[in-house]
Structure 1
Amino acid sequence: MIRRHIDLIQLLIQENKCKPASFFGEELHVSSKTIYSDIHELEVFIKHFGLELTTVPGSGIRLEGASENKKELLKFIHTAIKKDGYSKEMRRMMIVKKIFVDVQNISLDELSREFIVSKTSLYNDIAIIEKMMNEENVHIIINHDGIECKGRESKIQRAIEKFIMYFNAENKSSINDTIEAMFDFKIVCMVDQLLFHEYSELTEHVSDYYIDGLRLSMMILLSRLDKGFHLEKEEEFLFNSLKFMETFIVANTMVEKVKRDLIINFTNEDIEYLSQQLFAHRITSKIKSVDPQYEKTVKTIIERMEEMEKIDFSQDERLYKSLLYHVPAMIVRLQKGVQVQNPLLPDIKNQYTKLFTVVWYALSFIESEYDLILNDDEVSLVLIYFQLSLEKLAKVRNIIIVCPYGTSSSQLIMNKVKQFLPTRDHIEVSNISKLKEGNLNNVDLIITPVDVDFVNVPTVKVNPLINDEDLINIMSVYTNKVLKPERLELLSGSNKAETPIIAKYIDPSLIKLDKTYSSKEECLDSMITELENNEFVDPLFRISIFNREKMGSTSLETGVALPHADPDKVNIPSISITTLKKPIKWGDVNISLVIMVALSEQEIDQFSTAISEVYKLVDRKEKVNEIVSIKSVADFMKLFQK
């Protein structure tokens, strides 16, 4: 709801008698035509409060209903104002709606009057909006004729979707509330009728975040088509294989209903675009046959994971079928620039840091094979399949750390414990409340500095500042009560990490200490140039590294960056290390140590071990600081000598 609607409702409540549209128009500085349009938009909303807008010919407009209902409406309006009715975020969303969705020919002066803000504020709003839109090469033009957007139609639609997703994430808004605010009611009804009624058999088992993404893209498409904007012809026609046939047929039948009910015209390019959106968001019926190329790709992914994780994934038929269903749609999404957000991404990257890197490495070959760039969301979705498989095949244990003394204490215990327990075990920080209310059936061990007598799970009580005796107790309980008859190989009691793989591939000439760089890009450029000069990598290695950084930051919270590239861009395996005199920004983290692992396809079976060694080496800030303080290459190499 915009400011003018709020002001109009307040005027209607104040006036007990009929007033002509011109009266309200003069009060709100708009035309009578605009008032009638607003009245039409508000009718359904006002009926929710048991009120009715009545237009009396020759007399005007009146709000009819009980005074109690009017008070309730006024109370709601005041709450909306306090909450976000006039927030700059809501204002920016409404500006996007007017310019991109409704395609209104509106000027800065009109926006200034409507939102009751200065032109300076509006220029700032538009600059912020355009900054986001520029990622898709979409621009906002302000001239004497008004405000308009410029760019390829496919890019404009993608930019709108990105903005809405960003708005929702930043404001923690309900997707339904945002959709209701952004799109015409008839278009919302049409899309929901198609997805939840006409084709419910195709959508009922699809995850919510795919459905939300598809609803948005379809509503944006229909809104833009309704205003006469059509998709351009794509240079590459993707409907030349079986994978699109079912979605192409579904898209055509959907289009026929939309054309009939909403009188919206479609070109062939528009139908192709809708078909691609359906396929990318997994709206397909059961796959009757699979492209042999995709079968080969899925088998290659699994084989690469087997080499790195030393696990026979061929025992898990469900993993194969899941990937066979997921990977083709993932490839099309990445080729077409369709975004799918994994809501668990931050937790996955934090909890499964090493596995995330390994899965990316396993998937990296598809970038060159299918001409696309991976992103963190897609990698994390594939990771879920492998993590579930690992839990079945490798007997992953679930270990809970419960500490009421704050995050730093919990993290200290976790970092210590992770050094001694198998890397595949799931170790998670929790709290007393969750422990009392949660389902503990799958919890194998609890580690805590407080008494938790109310649980029936093997428990080890430790000091808040965990010591060697605590670690011995943990290993004892883990061995006797968790592993039972199984045996566990303990790591050495020494604080020095065993790093045979790093020692094998580290080259003293690639160790650079106490360097000064102004940015991540400058640091990467220097390290890559060194590899190129020694012909350790081919020219595409540089592109692969920077593409990986665009997809998501490779930094760790301990102040370390671990950039890596597609293994087929490596000629000679190596590990490069750079320490920094002054920390630089790497994503959201200030880092002072950069470790670049460059292993080729021939060494892929050693990649997982190499990454494990790196993580053990830099899992605590204190370790990183100690490494960065080393001033000679000779002393640095001693870290990796037995």
Structure 2
Amino acid sequence: MNRKIELLKLLFNEATFQPANYFSKKLSVSSKTVYADIEELNDLLTTSPSTDLHIEKSPRKGMMLVGKKNQLEQIIVHLNQTNSHSYFNVKARRFNPHFRRLDIVKRCLLNQENVSLEQLSIDYIVSKTSLHKDFEFINNTIAKEQVALHITHKGIGVTGQEIHIQYAIKHFLSFYIQQQDNDYLQLLMRSMTDDDSFNYINQLLVNHNGMLIQQCSEYYLSSLLIAITIQIKRLSLGYHVEKEDDFLFNHIRYMQSYLIASQLAEKLETDFSVVFTTSDTEYLSKLFFAHRMIDETSKINDQFYARIIKQIINKIGEIERVDLSQDAKLYHSLLSHFPAMITRLQKKIQVINPILEEIKVEYSKLFSILWYALSDLERRFDITLNDHEVSFLLIHFQIALDKAADANNIVIICQYGISSSNLILNKVRQLLPAKDNIEVYSLSKLQSSQLDNVDLIITTLDIGQINKPVVKISSLLNTADYQNIIQTYANYVLNKHGDGVDKIGNWPSITTFLRPNLVHLNVDITSKAQCLDMLLSELEGENYVNANYRESVLNREAIGNTSIEHGIALPHGSPMFVTKSSISLITLNKPIKWGTIDVSIIIMVSLAEKDIININDVFTGIYQIVSDKNLVLQLQSMQSFQQLEQFLSHKKGI
């Protein structure tokens, strides 16, 4: 695309027709390539909004850009966005399996088009063998939703309940949406539904539920819009959600959002010529509730969740050795978040956290602690936690823990007027913890001030070399800016406050639970499955865990990757299935694949619920070791359990 953009810029600078070889010399390509690029550029220009630009070709004269040329930069941005999302290129759907599979989901699952394998082979210009692989991949991806596509002599069939089909479509789309921008999402949904229903529903919510929309995060809103758009498309094709059996107390909870859902359903019926059954409206209500779109005029006194949340806050506070019991903001934010989270997990509604991987890296210790501390929720509510939900809870607790520490001083530098500066200030205040001191400075004031007490600088200007953390942002603060601010802030907070652990190296909590019979140094193992089986069989043989622990470990591995940097894996299961606390350790002669990472050291922490108070010390020690490459190399070189004990106790003789 870069070459085509350069060609467009060359055309922009020419006021007269120029032959193809004129441009081919400047771009160091053949004239044939120039002609091909011109054809593609003209196709792309037709999709660019608010422009009449096109490339005119004339025999014996050459080519020239014709039309109003005052919006070139906006057009280039649009072309870059459109081209970067290859699904919207029909040729890409034919030749790229990644996008072909998405199109198959659209045709065979969303639209349930009556199409044969032979016709798909013709449409995508691929062999039936390739299509069989596509269907295998799709079915593996959506298997957990209890939905499958079947190839028969009559065509492609679908099995599964309607509610699960809609879950499956949304789940498959999630792999194409993560880390993408709003323009991409709008284009994707328009291409999936062949209409503008996604944007229309968005505007409908803004017009009728503006206050709720303002309180809803961008990620929850996008997830909700995708789910409603899928429901409308399925309703337009005559597919309705089946009635679900549920407990009365759950139905009462959904009533908090039922009025919003029923009002929207009436409007959608008129605007899209669809019919909502009672079950369809109840499903829409559950979507609103699960995405925290709750009518605040019908509050319920929720003593049941209040008790659970207080218990969790106290447990995390004890583990972190911080009194969080008086943090009213943490309590109320969890009270708002918790019921919706439980509903999502019970109904298998997945909300993607776009910065999950960053959170797992930057807050790895707290992430692991939360997995352990929240394990009994799975038993109480019959749910299975996942990395995304744990990461959303982590945000609430991390802010509370930061609040308990000293406030940070943050400076915003903006080249525009007071109104623009205040706009950025307000957005940053909404983004960062309220405890922090945030001020707007001019560049001259920054240059003339002492920066000793400044902790972070957020700027729209290039301010040169300053020995402070700096985040460069645009004047309008886009999604990338928000993520950069959060990322830099996270790095700074961790570096500034640390864990307060002795850097010399003395980890008594690890040695307390490390068992000689569960330590294997320099062994030959060929796969992750073999390694897990060895660890779990030993724990089961020693009666350290009960029969359910194996399943909890394997489920955790299926949900998310437990490998981290420097070739370490930290598999673990639920404490509720541990009868005697232990730490297992294996070092390998040759690394094995653990997800996407080559792993040479495996540490399995299996702490019983009675010892959960020690989890902070255990993980503090583990993460201090595994985050230091030199310590990892020392650990890798251990030849005996005695050496390992000396290493962990920082005794001489290693």
User: Which residue is equivalent to 1:427?
Assistant: none
Equivalent position amino acid for 1:139 in 2: A
Is 1:606 matched with 2:625? no
| Whole-angstrom distance in 1 between the partners of 2:371 and 2:622 | 16
Q: 1:385 aligns with which of 378, 396, 401?
A: 396
User: In the alignment, which residue of structure 1 is the partner of 2:629?
Assistant: 621
1:132 counterpart letter in structure 2: T
Q: CA deviation at 1:139?
A: 2.2
**Equivalent of 1:313, from 324, 347, 353?**
324
Q: CA deviation at 1:358?
A: 1.5
Q: Distance in 2 between matches of 1:340 and 1:441?
A: 41
Task: Verify the 8 A CA contact 2:190 2:197 in the aligned structure 1.
Answer: no
Query: Does residue 232 of the first structure (1) align with residue 253 of the second (2)?
Result: no
One-letter amino acid matched to 2:333 = S
Using the alignment, how far apart are the partners of 1:90 and 1:167 within structure 2?
Answer: 9
Distance 2:597 2:637 in 1: 19
2:149 counterpart residue number = 140
8 Å CA contact retained: 1:307, 1:605: yes
Q: Which of 278, 287, 290 is the equivalent residue of 2:288?
A: 278
Alignment of 1:634 onto 2:642: yes
Aligned AA (1:155): H
The question of 1:503 aligning with 2:514 is answered: no
2: distance between equivalents of 1:513 and 1:79?
51
1:517 Cα offset (Å) = 2.9
Per-residue deviation at 1:335? 1.1
Q: Distance in 2 between matches of 1:189 and 1:176?
A: 7
Report the alpha carbon displacement of residue 614 of structure 1 after superposing the two structures with TM: 1.1
Q: Please name the residue that 2:5 is paired with.
A: none
Q: CA deviation at 1:501?
A: 0.9
Q: 1:516 to 1:202 in 2, by over 3 A?
A: same
Change (3 A) 1:351 1:561: same
Secondary structure of the structure 1 residue equivalent to 2:178: helix
Paired residues of 2:178 and 2:354 also in contact (CA < 8 A): no
Give the equivalent residue in structure 2 for 1:102. 111
CA distance in 2, matches of 1:505, 1:273: 47
State the one-letter code of the partner of 1:530.
E
When residues 184 and 490 of structure 1 are mapped into structure 2, their CA distance, relative to the original with a 3 A threshold, is: closer
Deviation at 1:637, TM superposition (A): 2.5
The range that moved more, 372-381 or 625-634, is 625-634
List per-residue Cα deviations over 1:495-526 (Å, max 9, x = no partner): xx101111222221221223333322322222
* Change in 2 beyond 3 A, CA 1:68/1:230: same
Q: Which amino acid aligns with 2:517?
A: S
User: Relative to 1, partners in 2 of residues 1:261 and 1:238: Cα closer, same or farther, differing over 3 Å?
Assistant: farther
Shift of 1:636: 2.5
- Cα distance in 1 between the residues matched to 2:51 and 2:513: 72
**Aligned equivalents of 1:507 and 1:174: distance in 2?**
52
Q: 1: CA distance between counterparts of 2:161 and 2:467?
A: 61
Amino acid at match of 1:627: L
Letter in 2 for 1:567: P
Q: In the alignment, is residue 179 of structure 1 matched against residue 189 of structure 2?
A: yes
User: Distance in 1 between the 2:256 and 2:225 partners?
Assistant: 19
Q: Read off the aligned partner of 2:590 and give its amino acid letter.
A: K
The 2-side partners of 1:77 and 1:149 are apart by 37
1:82 CA displacement: 9.9
Partner Cα separation in structure 2 for residue 442 and residue 389 of structure 1: 22
Summarize the alignment of residues 51-66 of structure 1 with structure 2, pairs less than 5 Å apart.
none
Paired position in structure 2 for 1:463 = none
Q: Deviation of residue 238 (structure 1)?
A: 6.4
* Residue from 148, 151, 156 that aligns with 2:165: 156
Match of 1:545 in 2: 553
The alpha-carbon distance between structure 1 residues 90 and 619, as it changes in their structure 2 partners (threshold 3 A), is closer
In 1, distance between residues paired with 2:257 and 2:285?
5
Task: Indicate the SS of the match to 1:284.
Answer: coil
CA distance 1:217–1:499, change in 2 (3 Å): same
In structure 2, C-alpha distance between the alignment counterparts of 1:45 and 1:329, rounded to whole Å: 40
> What's the CA shift for 1:457?
5.1
SS at 2:215's partner residue? coil
Q: Deviations over 1:531-556 (max 9, x none)?
A: 22222222222222222222212211
The alignment partner of 1:185 has SS state of coil
Alpha-carbon distance between aligned partners in 2 of 1:533 and 1:180, rounded to the nearest angstrom: 56
Identify the match of residue 177 of structure 2 among 156, 161, 168. Answer: 168
Distance 1:126 1:532 in 2: 38
**Counterpart Cα distance in 2 of 1:590 and 1:500:** 29
Contact persistence 1:202–1:284 (CA under 8 A):
yes
Question: Which among 203, 209, 220 is matched to residue 213 of structure 2?
Answer: 203
The answer to whether the Cα contact below 8 Å between 2:178 and 2:352 also exists between their aligned partners in 1 is no
Residue aligning to 1:367: 378
8 Å CA contact 1:505, 1:574 repeated in 2: yes
Q: Is this contact kept in 2: 1:211–1:281, CA < 8 A? A: yes
For residues 73-107 of structure 1, what are the alpha-carbon distances to aligned partners after superposition, in whole Å with 9 as ceiling and x for unaligned?
A: xx999997897311124443333222222222223
User: Contact between 2:256 and 2:299, CA under 8 Å: does it hold in 1?
Assistant: no
Sequence identity (%):
38
Determine helix, strand or coil for the equivalent of 2:292: coil
Structure 1: segments with no counterpart, 5+ residues: 1-43, 52-66, 400-434, 447-451, 460-477
**5 Å matches for 1:236-251?**
236-237=246-247, 240-251=250-261
Q: How does 1:556-595 map to 2 (within 5 A)?
A: 556-595=564-603
Letter in 2 for 1:174: Y
C-alpha separation in 1, matches of 2:84 and 2:387: 37
Please tell me whether residue 337 in structure 1 is matched to residue 348 in structure 2. Answer: yes
Provide the C-alpha distance between the structure 2 equivalents of 1:121 and 1:299, rounded to a whole number of angstroms.
54
1:394 aligns with 2:402: no
Paired residue for 1:416?
A: none
Please name the residue that 1:472 is paired with: none
Please give the secondary structure, in 2, of the residue aligned with 1:314: coil
CA distance in 1, matches of 2:626, 2:196: 56
Q: Normalization by structure 1: what TM-score?
A: 0.71
1:588 deviates by 1.7
TM-score using structure 2 length: 0.70
> In the superposition, relative to structure 1, how do residues 543 and 121 fare at CA in structure 2: closer, same or farther (>3 Å)?
closer
